[in-house]
Amino acid sequence: MTTNPSLNREIKLIAFDADDTLWVNEHHYRNAEHSFADMMSPYCSHEKAIDALLQKEKENLPLLGYGSKPFIISLVECGIELSGGTLDNNQIKNLIALGKETIGRNMELYPDAEPVLQKLFGRYPLVLATKGDLKEQESKVERSGLKKYFTSIEIMSEKHQGNYLKIIDQHGLEPRDFVMVGNSFRSDILPVLEIGGNAVYIPSDIIWAHEVVEESSHPNLVKLENLTQLPGLFNIQ
């Protein structure tokens, strides 16, 4: 993995991940996980509650996908199972309310997000490439105030090679012309490298357990400490 930042190829399209790359997201879920564990304290340990919730989310992913709505379902299902089916209506309502707190929150952009987009805007076509519930992600994009910087918004159910190739094909480019910027090695980096594209990896402080994979080096991969370093890869000050 390159830690001395440079991109050797002529990039023609830059794509950005959204959650935990441009704005805070996982932090809200992590807080909800710990609140859930507190609510489950009469039935099990804090650690067991969080492990059980993560397992339930993993089980529900193939059918329900990503976002706050599947998270709410996982909270309720997991709560019922951990309690042995003894939760009353008010407790279930509290779990639903806990999940809803992750929806519609005030957007918290990373301080460098908009200044970096401003520097790149007009010099390169920019694409926002995110995954999750369509309505939820559309709402985040609108509320972020960043939509104006992107030529297109791509909301995927999953980030895999085929969906990245669709973005590249829509712009009449080859994978070597494309770079993806994101915080998830599993979703933002590996699929792009596997199709011959370029990737800029900016690790976030918190990442969902499902997104954790072993990191590796690649000639087309650059690792940065933060977004402020990104314009320098394109000789923009």
User: Domain residue spans in the chain?
Assistant: 13-23+107-233, 26-100
Its pTM stands at 0.88
- Per-residue pLDDT at 62: 85
Model confidence at 28, pLDDT cuts 50, 70, 90, reads confident
Q: What is the pLDDT of residue 3?
A: 46
C-alpha–C-alpha distance, residues 196 and 176, integer Å: 6
Q: Was domain 26-100 assigned CATH 1.10.150.240?
A: yes
Segment 54-90, tens digit of pLDDT: 999 999 988 888 888 999 999 999 999 999 999 999 9
CA distance 56 to 141: 28
Give me Rg for the CA atoms of the chain: 19
- Domain at 13-23+107-233, CATH homologous superfamily: HAD superfamily/HAD-like (3.40.50.1000)
- Ranking 102-106, 172-176, 222-226 by mean pLDDT, the lowest is 102-106
Contact 170, 180 (CB under 8 A): no
Mean pLDDT to the nearest integer, 186-196? 95
- The closest of 47, 91, 99 to 73, measured between CA atoms, is 99
| Spatial separation of the C-alpha atoms in residues 55 and 49, rounded to whole Å | 10
Q: Would you say residue 132 has pLDDT above 60?
A: yes
Alpha-helical runs (H) found in 21-130: 26-39, 46-64, 68-82, 89-100, 113-120
Residue 94 scores a pLDDT above 80: yes
In this predicted structure, the answer to whether residue 4 has a pLDDT above a threshold of 80 is: no
Whether the predicted pLDDT of 190 surpasses 80: yes
